[in-house]
Amino acid sequence: MHHQPMERWKAVTQMEGLVTLLLVVREGRLDAAAEELQVNRTTVTRRLKALEAALGGRVVVRGPAGMEVTPLGEKALAAARALEAAVEPLTGRHRGDLHGVIRLGVPEAFAVAFAAPSIAELQAAHPRLQVQIRTNPARGRMSHTDLDMVVTVGHPGQSRALTRFLRDYELRLYASEDYVRRHGAPQDLADLGDHPLVYYVETELSTESLDAARESLRHMRTGASSTSVMAQVAATRAGAGIGLLPDFCAGDDPDLVPILPNVFRHRMEYWLMVTVEAWRNPTVRAVHERLALHQS
């Protein structure tokens, strides 16, 4: 009789450990699991250690590709999923509901034109889903501790992350109608040397494809420059020079006119990277598929 309270406490602790393990594997990161559980990282670690002590072995280990589940951990996960399935009817949640926090790193132009609308549609169907869209100046680096997915400009190259081609686009030349009236429209590539180029800050170019686009117009002097594509569009619209801009950003802008549209076009690509750890999370996979679907 005196042992019953202690046994109940152990059972509760083990259930906490199972739920924690399930979320750690599903979210792919201790910090993300802690946020979902509304506890701190230390508590997540403590619960995992308590579960391992109760089971007599490791449930997760750090491997070359990130967090890996051990054979003992797989057995514990099966029990955790059964526990989740048993509790779901009491919470009002249904299997297939997407929830949790997903961190997505994308270039600014992609965020505005594609990511934000896609995510908004997904969140309308899954109100408990949170997606943090973090913009960057087209960098292709992925931090396993900060982001679940990254959209890169150009192929990401060698990576342990899973990669997928999303879409191609073109960098084209544009100018405002007022700029063309004041300075005239270039008739060929040689004429571009008389005009300033609105583009990225050269020292901030971090992908070969963006740098190659600038090299192809090396005879143009640098005009307004910014790490923000939206600022580049605004500067071009204001008459700061001829902008080298994504066609999906500037092509339908009524204030901009194409410059040498049949002479100069620079093809670019967007790729999507997902960490192996994050791919275990069904919510990450759903966001991944939604982003890819909107590019097809």
Which domain CATH number covers 250? Answer: 3.40.190.290
pLDDT at 191 over 50: yes
Q: Which among 90, 122, 145 is the end of a domain?
A: 90
Q: Which of 18, 111, 112, 9 is nearest to 59 (CA)?
A: 18
Segment among 114-118, 133-137, 259-263, 282-286 with least mean pLDDT: 133-137
**Could you give the CA distance from residue 248 to residue 170 in angstroms, rounded to a whole number?**
8
Shared domain for 105 and 57, answered yes or no, is: no
- Looking at residue 7, what is its pLDDT? 54
Shared domain for 115 and 258, answered yes or no, is: yes
Shared domain for 116 and 53, answered yes or no, is: no
Q: Does the pTM of the predicted model rise above 0.75?
A: no
- 3-class DSSP assignment, residue 115: helix
Strands 149-153 and 266-274: antiparallel
* pLDDT digit string, tens, across residues 17-68: 888 888 888 777 788 788 878 889 999 899 999 999 888 999 888 766 567 7
- Token pair belonging to 241: 């020079």
Shared domain for 76 and 161, answered yes or no, is: no
First vs last C-alpha separation in the chain: 64
- Token pair belonging to 93: 């949640």
**Could you give the CA distance from residue 208 to residue 183 in angstroms, rounded to a whole number?**
31
Q: Which among 90, 110, 141 is the end of a domain?
A: 90
**Could you give the CA distance from residue 101 to residue 251 in angstroms, rounded to a whole number?**
34
Q: Can you tell me the mean pLDDT for 119-147?
A: 76
- 3-class DSSP assignment, residue 161: coil
* pLDDT digit string, tens, across residues 230-264: 999 999 999 999 999 999 999 999 999 999 999 99
Shared domain for 104 and 141, answered yes or no, is: yes
* 239, 122 Cβ separation under 8 angstroms: no
Shared domain for 119 and 51, answered yes or no, is: no
Q: Which of 134, 159, 172 is nearest to 264 (CA)?
A: 172
* 128, 98 Cβ separation under 8 angstroms: yes
pLDDT at 101 over 80: yes
Q: What is the CATH number of the domain that holds 39?
A: 1.10.10.10
- Looking at residue 78, what is its pLDDT? 84
List all residues 6 or more positions away from 34 whose beta carbon is below 8 Å from its beta carbon.
40, 41, 43, 44
Q: Which among 32, 61, 90 is the end of a domain?
A: 90
H/E stretch holding 127: none
List all residues 6 or more positions away from 249 whose beta carbon is below 8 Å from its beta carbon.
109, 112, 113, 229, 230, 233
The domain total for the chain is 2
List all residues 6 or more positions away from 78 whose beta carbon is below 8 Å from its beta carbon.
none
Shared domain for 29 and 111, answered yes or no, is: no
Percentage of the residues of the chain whose pLDDT score is greater than 90? 43
Average pLDDT, the chain: 84
Q: Which of 211, 212, 176 is nearest to 196 (CA)?
A: 176
Shared domain for 223 and 142, answered yes or no, is: yes
Shared domain for 39 and 74, answered yes or no, is: yes
H/E stretch holding 32: helix 30-37
Shared domain for 226 and 286, answered yes or no, is: yes
List all residues 6 or more positions away from 156 whose beta carbon is below 8 Å from its beta carbon.
140, 142, 150, 163, 271, 273
Shared domain for 275 and 185, answered yes or no, is: yes
pLDDT at 1 over 50: no
State CA 33 to chain mean position distance: 18
- Domain limits for position 277: 97-295
Shared domain for 83 and 123, answered yes or no, is: no
